[in-house]
Amino acid sequence: MSYRSFVALGDSFTEGLNDPAPGGAGMGRGRHRGWADRVAERLAALDPEFRYANLAVRGKLIDQVVEHQVPRAVRMRPDLVSLCAGGNDLLRPGSDPDRMAKKLAGAVRSLRATGAEVLLFTGVDPRDFPIMRRARGTFAIFYMHVRSIADLHGCHLVDQWSMQGLRDWRAWSDDRLHMNEEGHRMVAAKVCDVLGIECDDEWRRAWPPRERVDPGIRRREDARWVREHLGPWVVRRLRGRSSGDGLDPKRPDLDVFG
C-alpha cells in the first residue's frame, strides 16, 4: 500500500529526541529527527506530494495524547497514523496498564473509523534499564494489551520488545531513556519493514563486541547519570512538571514534507 499522508502521535520517542537533525547538532525545537521523520523521508521519496505531520511532544502521558493529539489527527484524515503512548505513564508509581489499554483502544477505534491505517508499538524490554526494570511486569501487561488491540482492530504492530539490537547501550543516549541516532535508525527500518516500504537500513543490528569497561569508570558514569539525568527527572516528577510543558508539536500541520 502507498501512503500519501502520515501523522505521528505520541511523546519524546516519536518527537525524535536525541537524534540530531542534519545540518546541526543542537537539540532545540526542530533540531531533532527521529524514527518518524526518517520514515516520512522514505515515503516522500516515493511521492513528491506526500504530506506529514508530527504532533508528538516530549513528556506527554497517554491521557494527554488521546485528548489533544488524536482528535487533531482524526480531523486531518491521513492515510497512516502512528500512535505510541504510555511509556511516561508506566514510569510513574501506581500506573494502571488495564486502564491505559482501554484509553488506547478508544483512540484506535476513532482513528480506524476515519479509514486510516494505524501503526502501534510495544516498548523495549526494560530489564536492562535501571529506572524501569522493577516495573517490568507492568510494562509487559500493557504491551500485551497493545498486541491485542492491534490484532482486534487490524493495526500494524512494531514489536520493539523483540529487537535485540535495542538492548545494547550503543543504541541509547546518555540519559538512558531516549534512543540516539542509531536507535532511531533501527526503529525506522523496522517500521518500514512492517509497512512494506523499501529501506536501505537494517533493523536486525548485530553490534560488534564491546571492550571491557573498568569498574571505576563505570561507577563514575553511573554517578554522572544520577546527577545529570535521574536527579532532574525525579525533581520534575515531584513538582508535577513535564519536560514538554509549554511546547508545541514540531510539525503541527499536515503539509508536504520538506
Distance of CA 212 to the CA centre of its chain: 30
Q: Give the pLDDT score at 218.
A: 62
Residue 69: strand, helix, or coil: helix
Q: pLDDT of 49-95, one tens digit each?
A: 999 999 999 999 999 999 999 999 999 999 999 999 999 999 888 89
Amino acid type, 58? R
C-alpha cell at 19: 537524534
**Percentage with pLDDT > 90 across the chain:** 64
Mean pLDDT for the chain?
88
- Among 3.40.50.300, 3.40.50.1110, 3.40.50.150, 3.30.70.80, name the CATH number for the domain at 5-204+213-256: 3.40.50.1110
Q: At what angle do helices 34-46 and 181-195 cross, to 10 degrees?
A: 50
pLDDT over 80 (residue 184): yes
Higher-confidence residue: 112 or 204? 112
Instruction: For residue 134, give Cα distances in angstroms to 12, 140, 177.
Output: 22, 12, 15
Backbone angle region of 119, left / alpha / beta, with phi > 0 → left and psi within -120 to 50 → alpha: beta
Question: Could you give the dihedral angle defined by the CA atoms of residues 247, 250, 253 and 258, in that order, rounded to the nearest 10 degrees?
Answer: 170
C-alpha cell at 218: 563505570
Mode of pairing for the β-strands spanning 80-84 and 5-10: parallel
pLDDT over 90 (residue 8): yes
pLDDT over 70 (residue 27): no
Handedness of CA 53, 89, 144, 104 (dihedral sign): negative
Q: Write down the pTM of the prediction.
A: 0.89
Q: Give the pLDDT score at 127.
A: 85
Rounded distance between C-alpha atoms, residue 89 and residue 171, angstroms: 23
Q: Write out the DSSP string of 139-181.
A: HHHHHHHHHHHHHHHT-EEEE-TT-GGGGSGGGB-TTSSSB-H
